[in-house]
Structure 1
């Protein structure tokens, strides 16, 4: 199995796990504070990952350039903006719609990468991207719209617009991360990805942490009082990001994000086996469509 495929599958698993744990934090602190813990506690985990990689695999760190740091800042800011837009879509009472349209990120990333990075791939991979995104949309909207007219009307909801904006921000974030890893001169793409993880998490801690200190100073002590649960979220976030960044360093962004749609399968499995919720036929059908799309992406790679 290619490195980028394994890394992307693990990224989906870690992200689903982190999201489940982060829901607990949202009952203890504000949305901004819950977001900051991902980066704050992710930095030491990222440093540990780099140290372990150097000890086990070897290699040397690359010297950052000004352009590299710019790409890192843009990638980190893009993730923060995308997350905030997604939360704004939830505030419009459109959790499913907002989430669904944010998942168009794979298609948006494919088009942007084609124009600005020259990343092209075969027709089968394009078809796989479309199928996997379509399956995700179906899973998110099944039972909520009953016709194409209702589906079209849903795209005009504020939650859908915020979701599309979130997808665009996440797509730009992924492309900036890929550009950043390519900017480093080291020969090991995985090590470059891990280095970039540490730099971006540090920048995000500074960016969103400064915002939190200025706008919600009362929330800052909670970041440290909740260190037990916050550290778990930060660790899973760092592991997930390490896998995403590794995928971006080894393969085109659009393909990584298309395969990353399997995240929704992990969500369904978590719901079924841990929360003991019953899966509907539409869930099974949508999951099969997502898997079919991922297979087409891999075949067309």
Structure 2
């Protein structure tokens, strides 16, 4: 099995843990604070990984250029916007529909990859992407009264529009991170996906931390107190989140962002496994069908 696949599956597993803990943190702080924890508490670990690769493992430090800074800025801000929009969906009663459309990220990442990087996906890869996206959408609406027809027509609703825009920003951020990481290769003696990914992650997460910290100080200063009180679980979230991000950045340095994001849908399987085996929550027929479609899409990508 290829290295990028193993890295992606591991990152998806870690992200599932991080997401579960972030839900716990929302009881102790607001949405902005819980979102900041992902970046602010993850930053020291991201910089630690970079330092270990450079000073301990002896990897050469890349020299950033204008292309790197441009795509890092685009990716970092796009990810913040995508996360904000996704969290905003919880303000709507039928946010499941919007969430389903935000999961079109792999398809949108494929489009951005074609536009900005000239990366063309094979017909088999496009079919696999479509199958996995449908699977995630089924899971997202499985516990609502929505039908397949209403899911398609609801694309014109405000909620779906926000979800699609969230998926657009997530797709843009994924392609931007790949572009930024690849831009570092010419400054190294030989391509080094670990160092390229670590350096990109370190810069981006530092940028995101600064941007969100300025926002909290200016708009929601009380959140700082809540974050300080819950620093212990936030510390764990930061560690797991930074580890997952390092995996995403590494995988997207080795493979097209859209392809990585399809394999990353296995996170949904980890989520349902946790629900069933840990919390004893039953899975209905639509959810099971969605899981099988995700598996089918991932298997197609690996085999084709």
Alpha-carbon offset, residue 259 of structure 1: 0.8
Distance between the aligned counterparts of 1:94 and 1:241, measured in 2?
Answer: 30
Distance between the aligned counterparts of 1:68 and 1:250, measured in 2?
Answer: 17
> Any gaps of 5 or more consecutive residues in structure 1?
none
The verdict on how the C-alpha distance between 1:3 and 1:55 changes in structure 2, with shifts beyond 3 A counting, is: farther
SS in 2 for 1:155: helix
Distance between the aligned counterparts of 1:95 and 1:44, measured in 2?
Answer: 34
Alpha-carbon offset, residue 266 of structure 1: 0.8
The verdict on how the C-alpha distance between 1:147 and 1:94 changes in structure 2, with shifts beyond 3 A counting, is: closer
Q: Does residue 1:60 correspond to 2:64, yes or no?
A: no
Q: Does residue 1:252 correspond to 2:252, yes or no?
A: no
Task: Report the equivalent of 1:190.
Answer: 194
Alpha-carbon offset, residue 66 of structure 1: 2.8
**Aligned 8 A contact 1:272 1:278 in 2:** yes
**Aligned 8 A contact 2:110 2:121 in 1:** no
Q: Give the one of 198, 205, 216 matched to 1:201.
A: 205
**Aligned 8 A contact 1:73 1:200 in 2:** yes
Distance between the aligned counterparts of 2:51 and 2:38, measured in 1?
Answer: 20
**Pairwise CA RMSD of aligned residues?**
1.6
Q: Give the one of 210, 230, 236 matched to 2:234.
A: 230
Name the TM-score, length of structure 2 as normaliser: 0.94
Task: Report the equivalent of 2:151.
Answer: 151
Deviates more, 1:200-209 or 1:8-17: 8-17
Task: Report the equivalent of 1:295.
Answer: 299
Task: Report the equivalent of 1:132.
Answer: 132
**Aligned 8 A contact 2:79 2:169 in 1:** yes
Distance between the aligned counterparts of 2:148 and 2:98, measured in 1?
Answer: 17
Distance between the aligned counterparts of 1:220 and 1:201, measured in 2?
Answer: 18
Alpha-carbon offset, residue 188 of structure 1: 0.2
Deviates more, 1:59-68 or 1:81-90: 59-68
Q: Does residue 1:220 correspond to 2:224, yes or no?
A: yes
> Any gaps of 5 or more consecutive residues in structure 2?
none
Task: Report the equivalent of 1:69.
Answer: 69
1:22-61 map, 5 Å? 22-54=22-54, 57-61=57-61
**Aligned 8 A contact 2:76 2:208 in 1:** yes
Give CA deviations for 1:194-218 in whole Å, capped at 9, x if unaligned.
1111111100000011001000112
Q: Give the one of 255, 264, 289 matched to 2:268.
A: 264
**Aligned 8 A contact 1:50 1:191 in 2:** yes
Task: Report the equivalent of 2:9.
Answer: 9
Task: Report the equivalent of 1:89.
Answer: 89
Distance between the aligned counterparts of 1:183 and 1:3, measured in 2?
Answer: 21
Task: Report the equivalent of 1:210.
Answer: 214
Distance between the aligned counterparts of 2:16 and 2:153, measured in 1?
Answer: 29
Alpha-carbon offset, residue 282 of structure 1: 2.5
Alpha-carbon offset, residue 41 of structure 1: 1.0
Alpha-carbon offset, residue 145 of structure 1: 4.8
SS in 1 for 2:61: coil
Deviates more, 1:202-211 or 1:271-280: 271-280
Alpha-carbon offset, residue 56 of structure 1: 6.5
Distance between the aligned counterparts of 1:234 and 1:105, measured in 2?
Answer: 24
Distance between the aligned counterparts of 1:56 and 1:205, measured in 2?
Answer: 26
Give CA deviations for 1:106-133 in whole Å, capped at 9, x if unaligned.
0011112112211113211111111111
Q: Give the one of 241, 246, 255 matched to 1:242.
A: 246
Kindly tell me the number of residue pairs found equivalent between the two proteins: 300
SS in 1 for 2:237: helix
Name the TM-score, length of structure 1 as normaliser: 0.95
Distance between the aligned counterparts of 1:252 and 1:137, measured in 2?
Answer: 22
Alpha-carbon offset, residue 54 of structure 1: 4.0
